[in-house]
Amino acid sequence: MSIHAQDNLFLIQTQRMSYAFGIGAGGKLIHLYWGDKLPNANGLQRLLQQTQKTMFSNYELPLEYRGQEPFDYFQPAILPVFSDQGRGARLAVTNHKLDDNSLTVTLKDINYPLEVDLVYQTFGQLDLIARHAVIRNTGTDDITLEILKSATLNLPTPANHYRVTHYAGNWGAEFGQQQCKLTQAQIVLENHRGTCAAHQHIPFVALDPESQATETTGQVFFAALKWSGDFKITVEQEFKGSVSIVAGINDFDSNWILHPGEAFATPQLCCGYSNAGFERMTEILYDWQFDFLAPRSKAYLTRPIIFNSWYPYEFKIDENNLMLAIDKAAQVGAELFVIDDGWMPGRVNDKAGLGDWIPDPKRFPNGLKPIADKCHGKNLLFGLWVEPEMANPDSELYRQHPDWFIKHPTRNQTLSRSQLILDLSKDHVRDWAIQWLDQIIDDFELDYLKWDMNRYVTEYGADKSLPIKYILNLYKIWAHLNQAHPDVIFENCASGGGRADFGMVQYADRINRSDNAHPADVMILHEGFSRLFIPKTAGGAGNVARDENVPLQFRIHLGMTGSMSLGIDLLKASQDTLDQLKKATDEFKIVRPALQDAYVYRIASATQTPYTIWQYVKRDRTEFGLFAFVNDLRHWDKLQMPRFKMRGLLPDKIYRDQDNDEYTGAELMNIGIKVDFPKNDYSSVFKFFSAN
């Protein structure tokens, strides 16, 4: 990685990518190049001059950060309103600062006391750059920011068009891959549900020229926004073919007031480039998470096998039956026992007790300490479910502090799942949450905390900065928990996958992928999830599901592809089922270190064939696991089953499977291997290979 700043040119070089921009007439910051790595800066000066000569207005200039300049009709990244009602920004470069892995370019409005730092951060040799803006009020009056996006990205003009790829869905149907042709239009991905970003649209977009990228070939430009609340990504193509992306906090019914001397830092927009298809894009995103985004001490540790009290009991929990469940969990090889919803006073359904974070004295007369002690005595970690952002009206918290909840001043509050939303934009509510979370982690000797969130905002009230302040304070709570409790494992659950976003990856060790655990759906859910996020974080709904209509072996193999949890009622399970689970957890623990430090290659997609083939290749290329799943396989499909060619291996290495059969990496990648599926639907195969 290198960052060069010379004269009026800036060039960022990574292993395979170059990103360049320069200072044009009037101090305008003009984008020049993004794509395959350039050998040097030769030609960029000429490109800067040619770009200005061939552009006839600001509208046509590929500005590096758009501020509604005259005749610039593209989507702006910033829209300030000044005290005299002047609007828009006319920005010119005044300075720059270069550090080892970052570049800051300062722009100033030519008429008003507004400065913007454009910050570019690199990550070693990864073909990825994180961009954000720091917006400062250097005057004596307030400035209202009606739009405050993270970055403008300008893409090379294609010969014909780009294809847009994004991931969309809803509760229980997250991570559906969507693709469409970009024409002279805007494609807008956005969310304004307040408490989360990702159920309907992941804050992520990718574009490939001429729709030509495959898994392993072609150019892919992509951008991931580190924000967990209301976001907006606008992809735009104008008549002459210019294409840009503007992404950041959603401006729908929101703004931010900058008081004199204050600054606001937008969330990072991480933009990357692959010249080897979508598969390399995924590798870049994985390496970013493994090595930079989640570098806490336990980030490399394997994720424990979880048993959760919800599956046998739901709300009907007490000290006695949890003690029985702990014995069963230890017997089948679980490593973590989690008490889910229902442990608070009056919490026998979802209509009461939420917000009162003490053990129910009737069902837990000795508190939770005896349960924690038994877990630890059985060599199980102990975890607990909480939902810190919500409360029932039927709770002591609401009766004591009704003013702590989000509401419109002239309308009735609306309920969802019998819940109201605490106003985390208020610092005293944030501090209260930190206080009781610290206390239960210490008092109950927690090794694991599952944070849930189960509803969207329906009325904000008069403060248009509330949706922004809410997420900023949410991050402050999570940052505190990470710092104060470095050995606790944290799960990010948001009504399933509502916060499966890159803003939360840096705080949470496990991501609830979805509340949907039906195996046929999980294959599609996991394929979308693992395109963006490392599989060892993937949890939710007991991924070895309690679906008696699907063979247990199939459910076990699916559970091995993520952060395994046993979503089965162990108290009612047959001895044969318990024995099968114990055998599976023993075998999984042997291969888990490789599977959870791996890239995922989609050899056959769950959305395109009646069979699914995923290859988990350890990042050092010395081991890999092959998962094969069948759903609705027809007779002629079985007759026409191809040999499956592996990818990403070391050609000269010898790989040995469980049967001690040996293959070279070149053989596996060029000739492939045959997978013998059983005849029945919902059948699965797992094979593991290790290099000498």
Residues 384 and 470 in one domain: yes
Instruction: Look up residue 361 and give its DSSP letter.
Output: T
Residues 369 and 400 in one domain: yes
Where is 225: in which H helix or E strand? strand 220-225
> Is 568 contained in some domain?
no
> Is 409 contained in some domain?
yes
Residues 140 and 46 in one domain: yes
Q: Is the pLDDT of residue 300 over 60?
A: no
Residues 278 and 326 in one domain: no
End-to-end distance of the chain based on CA atoms, in angstroms? 33
Q: Please, are residues 208 and 220 in contact by the beta-carbon 8 Å criterion?
A: yes
pLDDT at 249: 98
Q: Which of 520, 541, 563 marks a domain boundary? A: 520
Instruction: Look up residue 204 and give its DSSP letter.
Output: E
Q: What type of residue is 624?
A: F
Q: Which of 263, 293, 323 marks a domain boundary? A: 293
Residues 284 and 350 in one domain: no
Rounded distance between C-alpha atoms, residue 545 and residue 31, angstroms: 50
Task: Write the pLDDT tens digit of every residue in 20-51.
Answer: 999 999 999 999 999 999 999 899 999 998 88
> Is 476 contained in some domain?
yes
Q: Picking from 64-68, 409-413, 467-471, 527-531, which range would have the lowest pLDDT averaged per residue?
A: 409-413
> Is 67 contained in some domain?
yes
Which has more confidence, 235 or 48?
235
Residues 187 and 69 in one domain: yes
pLDDT at 639: 62
Q: Please, are residues 448 and 563 in contact by the beta-carbon 8 Å criterion?
A: no
Give strand ranges (E) for 436-505: 448-451, 489-492
Residues 312 and 289 in one domain: no
DSSP for 131-174? EEEEEEE-SSS-EEEEEEEEEEEEEPPPSS-EEEEEEE--TTS-
Q: Please, are residues 614 and 561 in contact by the beta-carbon 8 Å criterion?
A: yes
pLDDT at 7: 85
pTM assigned to the model = 0.96
Residues 287 and 414 in one domain: no
Q: Could you tell me the residue range of the domain that residue 673 belongs to? A: 602-691
The set of residues, in sequence order, having a beta carbon less than 8 Å from that of 402 and lying 6+ positions away, is none
Q: Please, are residues 561 and 526 in contact by the beta-carbon 8 Å criterion?
A: yes
Comparing CA positions, the residue from 452, 461, 453 lying closest to residue 413 is 461
pLDDT at 632: 75
Residues 475 and 337 in one domain: yes
pLDDT at 58: 67
> Is 194 contained in some domain?
yes
> Is 548 contained in some domain?
no
Q: Please, are residues 623 and 688 in contact by the beta-carbon 8 Å criterion?
A: yes
pLDDT at 56: 63
Q: Picking from 9-23, 440-454, 535-549, 651-665, which range would have the lowest pLDDT averaged per residue?
A: 535-549
CATH code: domain of residue 417: 3.20.20.70
CATH code: domain of residue 103: 2.70.98.60
Q: Which of 520, 547, 572 marks a domain boundary? A: 520
pLDDT at 298: 56
Q: How many C-beta atoms surround the C-beta of residue 218 within 10 A?
A: 18
The residue count of the chain comes to 692
pLDDT at 236: 97
* Average of per-residue pLDDT across 298-305: 75
> Is 482 contained in some domain?
yes
Task: Write the pLDDT tens digit of every residue in 180-205.
Answer: 999 999 999 999 999 999 999 999 99
Quick one: what percent of the chain has pLDDT higher than 90?
84
pLDDT at 636: 66
pLDDT at 400: 98
As for how many domains the chain has, the answer is 3
Under the banding of pLDDT at 50, 70 and 90, the label for residue 71 is: confident
CATH code: domain of residue 675: 2.60.40.1180
Phi-psi category of residue 169: left, alpha or beta, with phi > 0 → left and psi -120 to 50 → alpha: left
Under the banding of pLDDT at 50, 70 and 90, the label for residue 401 is: very high
Residues 480 and 331 in one domain: yes
Task: Write the pLDDT tens digit of every residue in 117-150.
Answer: 999 999 999 999 999 999 999 999 999 999 999 9
Query: Helices 319-331 and 575-595 sit at what angle, rounded to 10 degrees?
Result: 70
* Average of per-residue pLDDT across 264-292: 97
Under the banding of pLDDT at 50, 70 and 90, the label for residue 631 is: confident
Residues 272 and 327 in one domain: no
> Is 433 contained in some domain?
yes
Q: Please, are residues 418 and 392 in contact by the beta-carbon 8 Å criterion?
A: yes
pLDDT at 403: 96
Q: Please, are residues 77 and 151 in contact by the beta-carbon 8 Å criterion?
A: yes
Give strand ranges (E) for 37-90: 78-81
Q: Is the pLDDT of residue 462 over 90?
A: no
Residues 191 and 324 in one domain: no
Q: Please, are residues 224 and 203 in contact by the beta-carbon 8 Å criterion?
A: yes
* Average of per-residue pLDDT across 228-239: 96
* Average of per-residue pLDDT across 614-640: 87
Q: Is the pLDDT of residue 644 over 70?
A: yes
Dig out the tokens for 625 from the structure.
């696991």
Question: What is the overall mean pLDDT for the chain?
Answer: 94
Q: Is the pLDDT of residue 297 over 70?
A: no
